Amino acid sequence: MPVLADRQSQLLIDGKLVAGGSGVFETVNPATEEVLGVAADADAEDMGNAIEAARRAFDDTDWSTNTALRVRCLRQLRDALRENVEELRELTIAEVGAPRMLTAGAQLEGPIDDLAFSADTAENYEWTTDLGHATPQGIPTNRKIAREAVGVVGAITPWNFPHQINLAKVGPALAAGNTLILKPAPDTPWAAAAVGQIIAEQTDFPAGVINIVTSNDHSVGALLSKDPRVDMVSFTGSTNTGRAVMTDAALTLKKVFLELGGKSAFLVLDDADLAGACSMAAFTVAMHAGQGCAITTRLVVPRARYDEAVEAAAATLGGIKPGDPNSKRTVCGPLISARQRDRVQSYLDLALQEGGRFACGGGRPADLDTGFFIEPTVIAGLDNNARVSREEIFGPVLTVIAHDGDDDAVRIANDSPYGLSGTVFSGDDARAQAVAARMRVGTVNVNGGIWYSADAPFGGYKQSGVGREMGLAGFEEYTEIKCVATLAN
């Protein structure tokens, strides 16, 4: 059966594709502003049914202990998604506004292939560790440490990289033996619902193990944080919403994973290839219209070469024209919505009010009458105290800031409420490594290294989150630790 052939998606609850209690809501192509179709709009009762199904599947079946079944189902899902990858690609480009080139990587194919890491990890994981014999309090005892599933997981995800973030939660959570309710962002319901349809029709996941609940009402997702039947909430999104998730989860003291905002710094040291480094920083901020939490949006350069750095960044960013995400050559597509475009524009207006100037960009493209586009923009003339230097804009906007040496560059990088990612460029690798070691962030790119990989943990310090996603650390986020002590003969 084709994925979403009737241009209408359904909920996946307790193994069945069902309609939403609140009817449907529209999903829109951000490049054309045209309505693509509708998604099932869940209400509180739907979410309650999904939580109950997940609770029952965890408590009353062998899912949490049947590792072979979990591995088989995850590999089935990976294979089924691969079989439907071309339909999923077109859906993703249309609904997310993701440039076609990115669907070969983190926007689609990469996350699908990464399910293999979750399956392989579960299959080869040492679920118990022998601590050996000891005599605590004089009592002969044999001890072991067991890793077990947390229970029912509620996953709440954003719209910017829906497949990557959805599957980065679904894969390890299910592989570890949990059951799950996925609540995707209302801006991109089809990306999740299409996966739900494939699960229902092309895999052997037992009923209730995975439930996908789309809704235009954010309060429906908030029920996952509040409901005592949910043992853990895994959230990716804004820092402000993350605070609300943590507050709600505190009522039942459930486990919380948070992957939140960023305002990451790209440090160019005085011995680096300035033009090359600034060009890379500019290109990065244009990818997917800057809609990535780990994108380095502060370019921190030597003060003596500030004007040269601004010129190099503007030469690259000014040459990247926002356009049709269907084109194989497009790097910078649309923002996800009119609301988000207006938010980015408000920051550009603020930059001028704060005394900054635009080296390129600064508003909507003059040649695009429709679509939620913003020109790639370089802001110059501001320091790290400006709001546009401190707050997450989530658009194709790069602020260039001057530093007075390595110590000052590190100070500027760390002078942020966030600590998600960073980049260091230097002609001396050891010098770059020394600077990277002083940055209070979860991931660092040194001279072009790539940290994004299924086997590498991702997450941040400070207000960028709690815990790690992906890698072995991300798998273990979805487990509990049990110490078992047995009286020795």
Strand partners of residue 13: 16
How far is the C-alpha of 317 from the C-alpha of 307, rounded, in Å? 15
Residues in the chain: 489
3-state DSSP assignment of residue 460: coil
Answer whether 349's CB lies under 8 Å from 320's CB: no
DSSP secondary structure of 314-375: HHHHTT-----TTSTT-SS---S-HHHHHHHHHHHHHHHHTT-EEEE--S--TT--SSS---
3-state DSSP assignment of residue 197: helix
Closest CA to 27 of 15, 16, 40, 18: 40
Answer whether 406's CB lies under 8 Å from 269's CB: yes
A 10 A CB-CB count for 141 gives 15
- 259 classed as catalytic: yes
Query: Half-sphere exposure (CA, 13 Å, Cβ side) for 351?
Result: 30
Which of 45, 86, 123, 259 does the annotation list as catalytic? 259
Catalytic amino acids? 259
